[in-house]
Structure 1
């Protein structure tokens, strides 16, 4: 009888324990905290990289201009179109401009702008810095005596923090324009009447909250993208993970911040 040699089955690799995962989570939080504190320590101390900040503002704002315009216009148009039947059931079509203005200026304009920027700008920052890290360009800058953190990170975070509020304001007005075209075609409302009804329900708190959202969203997108790219590893695979991590993390934090700011703004209304 022939004997069958049974080779031993390799044991399945065990994943990291709960203790290890918890420890890694706290280490990550510690590194993120140090990264943010390092930004505030270096961003407002001379020498200032004005040219690089302006270049990054151009990359963040101007290159996103077409996409922001198209998305904002479609958002206002579709939101107005979808809201009309519900108001028509109660004979309240005249409330449509007020409804559109509240939805767009309080929530949609900064949120949509932030989500687009997280996908376009955040991934770009993560991939760019990740590529520089894995090709040792950042290490070379550190050896040469320059300050790569100030030049690469601070300029990009400042650019997103300054540019996203401008884009969000522009998105709001473009969305209102899309809403006006829909209202004008269906109800024949004049532009003057539409704008009067648009700004009537809005208060100072609404504008401040919307601006605060855009600033916080811009800072979050910049800091997350820079962190993911600046500390990326594992070669080209790490570059892809940095870009993906920048988008996913930034979007998640944007929604969390949206909830918190809405709650805080509600206390002042």
Structure 2
């Protein structure tokens, strides 16, 4: 099978998988306890790595930009630059990539192991729909929790930027905070929440598809896990471009 045909086949299967789990939400059983458990695993479990990423990303932004801004006498705009960069772009994308590496791989490995050990076949034999039981709770949890993780990363990024600005470059923290306020608009916040919704859908869809399509025993599980992380990360970056352009048009974010 040539690469184009393989890609179109995978896109078709992922689309059908998304349709099946979405329509399953409107009928019973819904497995609410499993959704809550997945939200805990995805949200609380991913919180430390996302907060750490956000904190040091904000610090690095200040570290790299203050010398240049100071050369032009514009270091008072540091907070605006950090806030705009984090909320519009770096917060959603980096949070999605961290979650893709941690959760995408875990979902793919878990579902792949269930496939090769024939647990999925056993569920079907007992009359349980694997998509309703396994896929829907994970995707719902990702779609709900990734925006919250992104907001947390943004807040800690601004905190890290403020600490670096104050203690390494002696910037007045009140000026930094005011600059952050001036640099954030309602459209930026809305756009920064919309992006993770789509990123969560992409990560969950790819991870579940790769896991459920695992073949080749335990070696296949490893391959599916690797493919899930790589493919989901690539699609997050691709989707980010098109979402940014769409948000520019719809919410007037970043347009001239």
TM range (shorter): over 0.9
Kindly tell me: are residues 265 and 22 of structure 1, through their superposed partners in 2, closer, same or farther at Cα, counting changes over 3 Å? closer
- 1:134 match: 116
Larger radius of gyration: 1
Cα deviation for residue 266 of structure 1 reads 1.6
- 1:189 match: 172
Q: TM-score, normalised by structure 1?
A: 0.89
The CA distance in 2 between the partners of 1:257 and 1:140, in whole Å, is: 36
Cα deviation for residue 27 of structure 1 reads 2.7
The CA distance in 1 between the partners of 2:102 and 2:210, in whole Å, is: 15
Structure 1 unmatched runs, 5+? 1-15
Cα deviation for residue 248 of structure 1 reads 0.7
State the 4+ residue runs in structure 1 displaced beyond 6 angstroms: none
Secondary structure, aligned partner of 1:45: coil
Aligned residues of 2:77 and 2:176 also touching (Cα < 8 A): no
Cα deviation for residue 146 of structure 1 reads 1.5
The CA distance in 1 between the partners of 2:37 and 2:161, in whole Å, is: 33
- 1:174 match: 156
Give 1:1-269 correspondences, 5 Å limit.
20-185=2-167, 186-190=169-173, 192-267=174-249, 268-269=251-252
Cα deviation for residue 22 of structure 1 reads 4.2
Aligned residues of 2:110 and 2:211 also touching (Cα < 8 A): yes
The CA distance in 2 between the partners of 1:265 and 1:161, in whole Å, is: 19
Cα deviation for residue 265 of structure 1 reads 1.7
Cα deviation for residue 188 of structure 1 reads 4.0
Q: TM-score, normalised by structure 2?
A: 0.93
The CA distance in 2 between the partners of 1:140 and 1:78, in whole Å, is: 50
Aligned residues of 2:76 and 2:175 also touching (Cα < 8 A): no
Root mean square deviation of aligned Cα: 1.4
The CA distance in 1 between the partners of 2:11 and 2:248, in whole Å, is: 29
Secondary structure, aligned partner of 1:44: coil
Which structure: greater helix fraction? Answer: 2
Structure 2 unmatched runs, 5+? none
The CA distance in 1 between the partners of 2:120 and 2:179, in whole Å, is: 53
